């Protein structure tokens, strides 16, 4: 962990330095949304104080600056994902909109009656519902790669589920409910062997380890800014250029056209064809600042910190009597889902909250995987680069308190 | 401070009812029923009851939920048995005031055992847990067979 000083990192995140309920805040809910470093907050303020104007159309100096900032952010994201070309980066409101964009453009064009869309049992609702809606509209079938009791995909079944009717495979890189890291490169290889394109939901992965979309080989990759220490309301869809070029537009409006008459509309080039209306410019600027912040820390150093803390936390939680980890995949990142005896996760969450510890409880917008484990809910602690062993120790003390209250 | 509020929320009686809920069953010969759902947490609960004229002769509940929702449901079944619909409704109003506004806002004696739910008022995120069973009972009394939701 050379060069990664978590105490110095923590100083960059102003929100962490406060007391809640009379105790120091322990934030273990970064899988829901991550906190923002001062560099991101400053970048957004600076944009509104100095550079704000609409992009791509003004002749004036502010519009030039804003365009430079916005298109510069696209370059930053391109490098971050190791994409070939910045035209492969589309700004969206978040992962959810990115997946909907693919379902509504690629999906509506290529999925027909009797076709199949393949997802997995561990998807977030954002990677289920857009496909369910598409399948209902088109008379297609949604098929599902099952998970085993560790919370890993049953890879033996994948080949049989990739059929000649499969039009797309949509899979999460890291499960938000279990923490499982899926072998997306291998899955992509299997799908591509049958000519089937692949979308990867990267909402939970980009925060924890470097992602190389060319190495994975996937056709689409989606993530959200707010989980990557950037602002809410901004996200990214990466799409391979040859996949994006033939697609119809997503939403109609300004900026996504080249010319409009009442008789004929000529659509703009990729990526602008998919960015109708004025975009979240300050959001893109904030996201670029977050990525630059991470890169200055070193993506590998961050990954090493997260890996080491995850190992420490797993061991620490296993020491709590009556605690059962839900999701024990061999490769996990960032997420620890658990139950404590038969104490309902809401009660666990309430008692921890009174200790100043923020966790998530509930079904984590992933009800199908909860059903697999026959649980209505779990408690979930999630880790980020600013978390420490002390945070984990506080969680363990809090869990002992939970057991005390419930005697 | 914080541990005092926790003790108010998870009083002995609440914990005892959540671990060993009363009337945790389907009422035999029930003529009213309803299902309740808290979509935020996925908690589900069903209430069955036997109404004779205007009087609740028997009531039971089933389902899964946190300590607060189970205890509230269990205490509710004990409190409304052999009461009229109007009395049960009036009790719901009092319980609602108790869990949203706190013990100062209601006549605690009139609430009997239900007064142990007073700690919920310090935990706004848990009000829905405490009121799910009551909303569901109300739906059953009104003869609404569709699922009720806290949202």
Are A235 and A333 found together in one domain? Answer: no
What pLDDT does B1 receive? 39
Domain contains A82: yes
Domain contains B151: no
Are A312 and A365 found together in one domain? Answer: yes
A377 in B contact zone (CB under 8 Å): yes
- Choose among B1, B42, B126: nearest Cβ to A350: B126
Domain contains B31: yes
**In B, which residues are within 8 Å of A343 by CB distance?**
67
Domain contains A181: yes
B99 in A contact zone (CB under 8 Å): no
- pLDDT at residue B2 tops 80: no
- pTM given for the model: 0.93
CA distance B103 to chain A (A): 20
Which two three-digit tokens encode residue A99? Answer: 């997946």
Q: What is the ipTM of this complex?
A: 0.87
Are A314 and A187 found together in one domain? Answer: no
Q: Give me the DSSP letters along A200-257.
A: EE-TTTTTTS---HHHH--SEEEEESGGGTS-TT-EEEEE-HHHHTTPPPSS-STTSE
Are A65 and A20 found together in one domain? Answer: no
What does DSSP say about strands A116-120 and A166-172: parallel, antiparallel, or unpaired? parallel
Are A288 and A311 found together in one domain? Answer: no
Minimum mean pLDDT range among A139-148, B90-99, B139-148: B139-148
- Can you say whether the dihedral through the CA atoms of A82, A88, A93, A94 is positive or negative? negative
- Choose among B5, B42, B68: nearest Cβ to A354: B5
Q: Which residues fall within 8 angstroms of residue A298, CB to CB, at 6 or more apart?
A: A3, A4
Domain contains A1: no
Are A277 and A327 found together in one domain? Answer: no
Q: How many other C-beta atoms lie within 10 A of the C-beta of residue A332?
A: 25
Are A150 and A245 found together in one domain? Answer: yes
Domain boundary among A295, A318, A339: A295
What pLDDT does A1 receive? 44
Q: Which residues fall within 8 angstroms of residue B11, CB to CB, at 6 or more apart?
A: B116, B119
pLDDT in tens, A361-395: 988 899 999 999 999 899 999 999 999 999 999 99
Domain contains B150: no
Compute the average pLDDT of residues A11-35: 97
Please name which of B22, B7, B43 lies closest in space to residue A367, comparing C-alpha atoms.
Answer: B43
Domain boundary among A272, A295, A318: A295
- pLDDT at residue A232 tops 90: yes
What pLDDT does A189 receive? 98
User: For this structure, is A365 an active site residue?
Assistant: yes
Compute the average pLDDT of residues B119-142: 93
- pLDDT at residue A57 tops 80: no
What pLDDT does A129 receive? 97
Task: State the Cα–Cα distance between residues A351 and B2, nearest whole angstrom.
Answer: 9
What pLDDT does A142 receive? 98
Compute the average pLDDT of residues B81-105: 94
**Smallest CA–CA distance from B2 into chain A, residue:** A354
State the best of B17, B20, B42, B64 to mutate against chain A, taking most chain A CBs within 10 Å: B42
Instruction: Give me the CATH number covering residue A78.
Output: 3.40.640.10
- pLDDT at residue A269 tops 80: yes
Domain contains B39: yes
Compute the average pLDDT of residues A158-181: 98
Residue with more model confidence, A1 or A386: A386
Are A206 and A100 found together in one domain? Answer: yes
User: Range of B33's domain?
Assistant: 2-143
Task: State the Cα–Cα distance between residues A366 and A348, nearest whole angstrom.
Answer: 20
**In B, which residues are within 8 Å of A370 by CB distance?**
42
- pLDDT at residue B146 tops 70: no
Task: State the Cα–Cα distance between residues A407 and A402, nearest whole angstrom.
Answer: 8
Number of folded domains in chain B?
A: 1
Domain contains A36: no
Instruction: Give me the CATH number covering residue B125.
Output: 3.90.1010.10
- Choose among B2, B6, B42: nearest Cβ to A376: B42
- pLDDT at residue B150 tops 80: no
Are A24 and A79 found together in one domain? Answer: no
B42 in A contact zone (CB under 8 Å): yes
Compute the average pLDDT of residues B126-151: 85
Domain contains B134: yes
User: Range of A126's domain?
Assistant: 41-295
Are A328 and A315 found together in one domain? Answer: yes
- pLDDT at residue B24 tops 50: yes
Compute the average pLDDT of residues B61-80: 94
Domain contains A35: no
pLDDT in tens, A295-314: 999 999 999 999 999 999 99
Residue B147's pLDDT band (cuts 50, 70, 90): low
Domain contains B94: yes
DSSP bridge partners of A181: A174
Please name which of B33, B43, B49, B74 lies closest in space to residue B149, comparing C-alpha atoms.
Answer: B43
What pLDDT does B145 receive? 61
Q: What is the mean pLDDT of chain A?
A: 96
Q: Which of A135, A218, A358, A365 is flagged as catalytic?
A: A365
Are A212 and A355 found together in one domain? Answer: no
Number of folded domains in chain A?
A: 2
Domain boundary among A276, A295, A314: A295
Domain contains B54: yes
A355 in B contact zone (CB under 8 Å): yes
B40 in A contact zone (CB under 8 Å): yes
Domain contains B148: no
Are A21 and A98 found together in one domain? Answer: no
Task: State the Cα–Cα distance between residues B70 and B136, nearest whole angstrom.
Answer: 13
């Amino acid at each position: 962990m050379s060069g990664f000083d978590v105490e110095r990192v923590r100083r960059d995140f102003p929100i962490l330095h406060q007391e809640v309920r009379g105790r120091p805040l322990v934030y273990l809910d970064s899988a829901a949304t991550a906190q923002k470093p001062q560099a991101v907050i400053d970048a957004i303020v600076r944009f509104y104080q100095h550079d704000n104007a609409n992009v791509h159309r003004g002749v004036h100096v502010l519009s030039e600056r804003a365009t430079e900032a916005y298109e510069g952010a696209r370059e930053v994201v391109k490098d971050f994902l190791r994409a070939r070309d910045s035209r492969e980066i589309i700004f969206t409101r978040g992962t959810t909109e990115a997946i909907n964009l693919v379902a509504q453009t690629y999906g509506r064009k290529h999925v027909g009656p009797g076709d199949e869309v393949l997802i997995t049992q561990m998807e977030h609702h954002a990677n289920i519902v857009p496909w369910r809606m598409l399948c209902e509209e088109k008379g297609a079938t949604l098929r599902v790669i099952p998970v085993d009791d560790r919370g890993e995909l049953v890879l033996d079944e994948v080949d049989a589920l990739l059929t000649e009717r499969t039009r797309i495979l949509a899979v999460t890189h890291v499960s938000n409910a279990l923490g499982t890291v899926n072998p997306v490169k291998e899955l992509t290889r299997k799908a591509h062997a049958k000519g089937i394109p692949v979308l990867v939901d990267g909402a939970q992965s980009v925060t924890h380890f470097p992602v190389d979309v060319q190495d994975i080989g996937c056709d689409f990759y989606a993530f959200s800014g707010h989980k990557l220490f950037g602002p809410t309301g901004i996200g990214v869809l990466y799409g391979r250029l040859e996949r994006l070029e033939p697609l119809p537009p997503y939403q109609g409006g300004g900026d996504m056209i080249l010319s409009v008459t009442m008789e004929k509309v000529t659509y703009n080039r990729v990526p602008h064809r998919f960015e109708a209306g004025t975009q979240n410019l300050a959001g893109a600027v904030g996201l670029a600042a977050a990525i630059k912040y991470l890169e200055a820390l070193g993506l590998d150093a961050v990954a090493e910190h997260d890996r080491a803390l995850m190992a420490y936390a797993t061991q620490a939680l296993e020491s709590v009597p009556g605690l059962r980890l839900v999701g024990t995949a061999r490769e996990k990142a960032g997420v620890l889902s658990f139950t404590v005896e038969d104490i309902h996760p809401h009660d666990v969450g309430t008692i921890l909250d009174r200790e100043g510890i923020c966790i998530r409880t509930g079904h984590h917008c992933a009800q199908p995987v909860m059903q697999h484990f026959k649980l209505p809910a779990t408690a979930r602690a999630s880790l980020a680069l600013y978390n420490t062993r002390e945070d984990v120790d506080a969680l363990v003390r809090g869990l002992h308190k939970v057991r005390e209250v419930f005697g | 401070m914080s541990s005092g509020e926790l003790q108010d929320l998870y009083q002995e009686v609440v914990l005892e009812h959540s671990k060993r809920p009363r009337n945790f069953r389907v009422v035999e010969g029930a003529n009213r029923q309803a299902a309740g759902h808290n979509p935020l947490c996925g908690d589900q609960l069903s209430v069955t009851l036997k109404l004779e004229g205007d009087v609740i002769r028997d009531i039971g509940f089933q389902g899964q939920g946190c300590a607060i929702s189970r205890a509230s449901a269990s205490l509710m079944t004990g409190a409304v048995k052999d009461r009229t619909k109007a009395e049960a409704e009036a009790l719901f109003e009092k319980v609602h005031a108790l869990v949203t506004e706190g013990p100062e806002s209601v006549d605690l004696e009139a609430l009997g055992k239900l007064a142990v739910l007073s700690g919920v008022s310090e935990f706004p995120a848990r009000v829905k847990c405490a009121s799910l069973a009551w909303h569901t009972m109300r739906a059953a009394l009104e003869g609404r067979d569709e699922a009720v939701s806290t949202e």
